[in-house]
Amino acid sequence: MTLQEKKEEIIESFSLYDEWLDKYEYLIELGKSLEPFPEESKTEDRLIKGCQSRVWLDSRVEDGKIYFQADSDAIITKGIISLLISVYSGRTAQEIASDDFAFIEEIGLKENLSPTRANGLVSMISTIRETARKNL
Amino acid sequence: MTISEIRARFPILSSRVYGKSLVYIDNAATAQRLDTVIDRQLALQKKANANIHRAVHFLAQEATEEYESCREAVREYLNAASKDEIIFTSGTTASINLVAFSFCEAFVNQGDEIIVSEAEHHSDIVPWQMACQRKGASLRVLPVDVDGHLRVDLLDSMLSERTRLVAVCHISNVLGLVNPIGEIVRIAHAKGVPVLVDGAQGIVHQRVDVQALDCDFYAISGHKVYAATGTGALYGKRKYLEVMPPYMGGGEMISHVSFENTTYAPLPGKFEAGTQNINAAPTLKDAIDFLKQLDDKELQSEIDAVKDYVYDSLTADGRVKLYGVPRGTISKIPLFSFTVEGAHHEDLALILDKMGIALRSGQMCAEPLMDRYGVTGMLRASFAPYNTMEEAEYFIKSLDKAIKMLV
């Protein structure tokens, strides 16, 4: 599936939910099913601190593709992380760097990414972008 | 008077968010604006906007009268001995920074000590740290016990010959316990050490008498007592304010200026440099009128019922851990900070937000206190006199629903 197709798939699945709480239920499920992040990798240098939730992010480059792994102590944030990973992990630097990251807004989670939320998610997106740019 | 009568005076409370009635219980962060506050601020802009103290024209006199009569209202409400002891500031943070700079300039030297408590807001920690760094002094910390009570029993032994000041909150913005300021002041004064009280929360739920407390400084914010934001005051004893150098230089704080030498204005002008918050500061008057009206038996029993209901519900819930537990003579205001085992504060706050409930989550500007309890953040529900029993019940019901979604 291309990056674009994956995004469309997510947007479609979110369109099923009219109610906010259903959306959150879905994100909580996604969060719970996120591939476990190794405890020993939860180091200071991988930690993105926020007033609210903490986010750990790790990346590696393999065969020209960038793979991300991340975790958070908050489950809704973890659900959004899971979405981001399903879209961006395993893509080329070119694909990631040229993306506008707007699908989060399209599924109505923009406010969760607002810098005023002061959570690690905003920094996570910039780190994903930065990692891609560095590997162009 | 009843809660519903009070409620009608706050226009914002009839708002809807996400199609639901707004339940605003983030009052410790900022309270909502009173109708008379909104009206006065608008009226001052429309009819009496002029710079104060300077010009002789009609509007300038109107504006000056508004501003200075408000100073008298604050003086009377805090029972300060003189109007000269009331300095208008932009709020508690500015008041504390003023003292941290000016008091420390006058009285703190290399090797001296300042005591703060473990339960302080960053606003009552960082200004003192900055002052200590500037002066080569050190900060000492009065701990709190597991229930959030200040270890006042340790204070006497912590006061040394080098202690220059004790800075402590009247009520912590996290714990909500009314600290025994009178006792703290007695202990500190016995060794000749002055006390600054961070009254940001202290002024909200009770009448404060600075002469009865005998504290040396008391700092307050207007926005937490329904006045306009960017307003506040510092009460300071004349004997200190007279000796302290100005914090900021500028217009209005001088008596004579030349390039060779400048002399400063008498109190309180010395500490009010530049154009003041002339359209907003007078709203403190309306806030004080309102605070006085709250002193009503019938109303207080209604407010207490809301507080007791929330406290009892949270303490009865085995999933909830409440911080700041009242004990003995130490009472608690309707401010409840808590954590839930297995549910992150951010998740709970996000879900409750979508249910129309505005409450605070995170470190609440008190990171050292979060560390003390070994948590990365808490959830805080803080009630105002306009919060109804119905809202309290909805909050408790919604919290239960949110926890069940997460755990």
What's residue A120's pLDDT?
A: 64
Question: DSSP string of A13-80?
Answer: HHTT--SHHHHHHHHHHHHHHSPPPPGGG--GGGEE--SS--EEEEEEEETTEEEEEEEESSHHHHHH
DSSP reduced 3-state for B122: helix
CA distance linking residue B162 with residue A108, whole number of Å: 57
CA distance linking residue A36 with residue A70, whole number of Å: 8
Please give the domain boundaries of chain A with CATH numbers for all domains. 3-134 (3.90.1010.10)
> Looking at CA atoms only, how far is residue A53 from chain B in angstroms?
6
Is the confidence at residue A116, as pLDDT, over 60? Answer: no
Q: Exposed (0-12), middle (13-18) or buried (19+): which is B369, by Cβ within 10 Å?
A: buried
CA distance linking residue B137 with residue B164, whole number of Å: 10
CA distance linking residue A48 with residue A58, whole number of Å: 11
Nearest to A20 among B18, B349, B362 (CB): B18
More confident residue, A17 or B80: B80
What are B157's two structure tokens?
């032994």
Cβ pair B320, A49 in contact under 8 A:
no
What's residue A47's pLDDT?
A: 86
Contact criterion met (CB < 8 Å) for A24 and B345: no
Over residues B252-286, the pLDDT tens digits come to 899 999 999 999 999 999 999 999 999 999 999 99
- Residues in chain B closer than 8 A to A76 (CB atoms): 346-347, 350-351
CA distance linking residue B195 with residue B166, whole number of Å: 5
- Which residues does A40 contact at the CB level (< 8 Å), separation at least 6? none
Is the confidence at residue B130, as pLDDT, over 80? Answer: yes
Q: How many helices (H) and strands (E) does chain B have?
A: 14, 17
Is the confidence at residue A117, as pLDDT, over 80? Answer: no
CA distance linking residue A134 with residue B318, whole number of Å: 49
Q: Exposed (0-12), middle (13-18) or buried (19+): which is B79, by Cβ within 10 Å?
A: middle
Over residues B327-381, the pLDDT tens digits come to 999 999 999 999 999 999 999 999 999 999 999 999 999 999 999 999 999 999 9
DSSP reduced 3-state for B191: coil
Element (H, E) at B201: none
Percentage, residues of chain B above pLDDT 70: 100
CATH topology of domain B38-290: Aspartate Aminotransferase; domain 2 (3.40.640)
Q: pLDDT tier at A136 (50, 70, 90 boundaries)?
A: confident
- For chain B, give the number of residues: 407
DSSP reduced 3-state for B195: strand
Question: Across-strand partners of B218?
Answer: B197, B235
Give B3-32+297-406's CATH code, choosing from 3.40.50.920, 2.60.120.640, 3.30.70.980, 3.90.1150.10: 3.90.1150.10
Asked if A29 has any chain B CB less than 8 Å from its own CB, the reply is: no
- B23-45: average pLDDT: 98
Is the confidence at residue B4, as pLDDT, over 90? Answer: yes
Asked if A51 has any chain B CB less than 8 Å from its own CB, the reply is: yes
Q: Which residue of B has its CA nearest to A79?
A: B347
Contact criterion met (CB < 8 Å) for A75 and B406: yes
DSSP E strands, B64-162:
86-89, 113-117, 138-142
Question: Do B3-32+297-406 and B38-290 show the same overall fold?
Answer: no
- What is the value of pTM for the model shown? 0.94
Q: pLDDT tier at A119 (50, 70, 90 boundaries)?
A: low
Cβ pair B239, B263 in contact under 8 A:
no
Nearest to B354 among A24, A52, A53 (CB): A24
Mean of pLDDT over chain B? 97
What's residue A50's pLDDT?
A: 65
- B296-320: average pLDDT: 98
Cα dihedral angle (B278, B279, B284, B289), rounded to 10 degrees? Answer: 130
Cβ pair A71, A78 in contact under 8 A:
yes
The C-alpha angle with vertex B235 and arms to B230 and B240, in degrees rounded to 5, equals 130
Q: Which residue of B has its CA nearest to A23?
A: B351
What are the helix (H) ranges across B250-366?
283-293, 297-316, 345-354
- A22-30: average pLDDT: 93
> Looking at CA atoms only, how far is residue B224 from chain A in angstroms?
21
The C-alpha angle with vertex B383 and arms to B377 and B387, in degrees rounded to 5, equals 140
Active site residues of A: 51
CA distance linking residue A123 with residue A103, whole number of Å: 17
Q: pLDDT tier at A112 (50, 70, 90 boundaries)?
A: low
Q: Which of A76-80, B164-168, B228-232, B334-338 has the lowest mean pLDDT?
A: A76-80
Cβ pair B222, B287 in contact under 8 A:
yes
Contact criterion met (CB < 8 Å) for A73 and B376: yes
Domain positions in chain B = 3-32+297-406, 38-290
Q: pLDDT tier at A59 (50, 70, 90 boundaries)?
A: very high
Q: Tell me the count of A-B CB pairs closer than 8 A.
A: 44
Over residues B153-179, the pLDDT tens digits come to 999 999 999 999 999 999 999 999 999
ipTM of the modeled complex: 0.88
Nearest to A75 among B18, B347, B362 (CB): B347
Cβ pair B336, B173 in contact under 8 A:
no
Over residues B320-342, the pLDDT tens digits come to 999 999 999 999 999 999 999 99
Radius of gyration of chain B, Cα coordinates, nearest whole angstrom: 22
Query: Look-up: residue for tokens 């674009």?
Result: A4
Q: How far, in Å, are B120, B236, B299, B320 from residue B102 at the CA level?
A: 20, 12, 42, 43
Rounded to 10 deg, the angle between the B92-107 and B126-135 helix axes is 20
CA distance linking residue B67 with residue B282, whole number of Å: 5
Percentage, residues of chain A above pLDDT 70: 90
Mean of pLDDT over chain A? 87
What's residue A107's pLDDT?
A: 84
Is the confidence at residue A123, as pLDDT, over 90? Answer: no
More confident residue, A19 or B193: B193
